[in-house]
Structure 1
Amino acid sequence: MSLLKAATSLAARAVTQRAISTSVPKLGAHDDIMEKWPADRFDKHFIDYLSRPEIDGWEVRKALSELHDFDVIPAPKVVEAALRACRRVNDYSLTLRFLEAIKIKCGTGKNRELVYGYIIDQVKPVLDELGISTPEDLGLHKPELFIPQAEYWWERKWYKEYGYDKKPGYEF
């Protein structure tokens, strides 16, 4: 009887130890922040981070990459803070890529025109103040050397977006 009790207690201790030693705490994910934080706290986090005077180029890229990983379109206040941070580290190309990323996040069709247009209208004073042109102002919103090719069927989705659906010879 005592042998059975000893074996049971050893087995129970081994299971307990195994469960404790193999259990891994869930590391913080992006989705946790979105679920726990209200929208204003989320915006404040990025605005405060990007508004730091000692921020460097790596930290700006890190913040913008992290912001892009979330499944949200940033509020105009956050976009303004990001544009000011890009200008502070003197990285003009990053401002253009950030604006392009926002445009991509806005979806397609009329939704893109409405949401992206709204954001650009809201941050226009900051763009003018900092001397930043949008990709549309610079003519970068359409590819310069795009030539449609019939054998690449996956490109057809871009034909209409870039105006090739109205040109003769590109009908499929």
Structure 2
Amino acid sequence: MASLALKTVARLAQAGRTVRAISTTVPAASGHDDIMEKWPADKFDKHFIDYLSRPEIDGWEVRKALTELHDYDVIPDPKVVEAALRACRRVNDYALTLRFLEALKIKCGTQKNRETIYPYIIQQVKPVLDELGISTPEELGYDKPELFIPQPEYWWEKKWYADYGMDKKPNFQI
């Protein structure tokens, strides 16, 4: 397969067409270092704040930056969250702001951490949320399922019962 690709590239180059090189190398498994060793926290935050604070940023770039930020195994600093919220507002994508806040809550980890870290971040960015007119998912009622009907015969749903306070006595009719 690789030889066919090389033959096609050679044929296109002979025909006078410009050929763009595509890298197919895979990094070695031993090259995976911790993010903070490669990138100190202040530079990490500055990179995302600078990228998201650009006035000419478009919706695709905002989504790209938020995806990259989410891929790292860190909970972003409130200043990075503020820059992300301002960027989402600049491109007028309210749904993205809500999804970003939901992903941030999920990224905080366990229920215990969600009760300490996530409220701290929301408290720190509350002035920006008020300034931009953004409601949190909790204020909109998106933190609770709207049409969730528990089915006890499914074992994998049992953790959801505890998360949403339905583990006591069922208060639903099927």
TM-score by length of 2: 0.78
CA distance in 1, matches of 2:165, 2:88: 32
Tell me how far 1:92 sits from its aligned partner.
Answer: 0.2
Structure 2 residue aligned with 1:79, among 78, 81, 84? 81
User: Deviations for 1:25-76, whole angstroms, at most 9, x for unmatched residues?
Assistant: 738x885654211101000000000000000000000000000000000000
Structure 1 residue aligned with 2:42, among 34, 40, 43? 40
Letter of the aligned partner of 2:148 in structure 1? F
2:27 corresponds to = 26
CA distance in 1, matches of 2:101, 2:169: 29
1:6 corresponds to = none
User: In the comparison of the two structures, how many residue pairs are matched?
Assistant: 146
Tell me how far 1:150 sits from its aligned partner.
Answer: 1.8
Higher share of residues assigned helix: 1
Larger Rg: 1
Q: Structure 2: give runs of 5+ residues left out of the alignment.
A: 1-24
Distance 1:159 1:25, change over 3 A: closer
Secondary structure of the equivalent of 1:87? helix
CA distance in 1, matches of 2:56, 2:32: 25
CA distance in 2, matches of 1:30, 1:66: 16
Structure 2 residue aligned with 1:59, among 41, 58, 61? 61
Tell me how far 1:146 sits from its aligned partner.
Answer: 0.6
TM-score by length of 1: 0.79
2:144 corresponds to = 142
CA distance in 1, matches of 2:62, 2:32: 18
Q: Structure 1: give runs of 5+ residues left out of the alignment.
A: 1-23
CA distance in 2, matches of 1:168, 1:50: 46
